[in-house]
Chains A and B, each alone.
Chain A
């Protein structure tokens, strides 16, 4: 079964550093997402991306964050100047035709620990 893959699986970074989390969505999918889950809390929406641009973003997704699809297969989340509270599991997801009826597939996540 096709799957969303994410790298790295775990990253430890110092406060103030920049982090790039990488995702390879399912190949024929058109919609891409980033979600995050702070330890013990609910999964929160960060951003959705379609047709090479952000289609929606949450309040969490401020100027510290950016997303990019640098080529035909990768989808990245960049976090500039990381803060302690950015420590969380970051999930990439993709779907075929938006959320209207199609399943959204999630990757295994990237654990980010900011120290």
Chain B
């Protein structure tokens, strides 16, 4: 699999339920970021977790990072219909010569049914 692979590819839940999306990666990272994208729109930054952090919270979002397993998860609690979107994880790695690169996965398409 490629760097930053999310699963599931698609997730459909009822409003009020929790949604969990996972991301796996292959190379060492400096940090990992989660983004949200509404259909045909831009990428909205949700949360950044550094490689020395294990868990981070922001409102209804909870992100975990396990560098030993090279995986991260994004939990959205008490989901709302407005959370319907695609969610991407993006790994940040040092690519040499003072340059870092953000590499995206294919995303999880979340549908929250009212």
- Residues of A participating in the B interface, judged by any CB pair closer than 8 Å: 33, 35, 41-45, 48, 50, 55-56, 89, 91, 93, 98-101, 103-109, 111
Contact = CB atoms under 8 A, between A and B. Distances in A.
B45 A103 contact: yes
Contact residue range for chain B? 20 to 34
B48 interface: yes
A101 B30 contact: yes
B92 interface: yes
A106 B43 contact: yes
A109 B40 CA distance: 9
Contacts of A107: 42
28 contacts: A41-B106, A43-B43, A43-B88, A43-B90, A45-B101, A48-B99, A48-B101, A55-B98, A56-B101, A89-B40, A91-B43, A93-B102, A98-B99, A99-B30, A99-B31, A99-B92, A99-B100, A99-B101, A99-B102, A100-B30, A100-B100, A105-B45, A106-B35, A106-B43, A106-B45, A108-B41, A109-B43, A111-B40
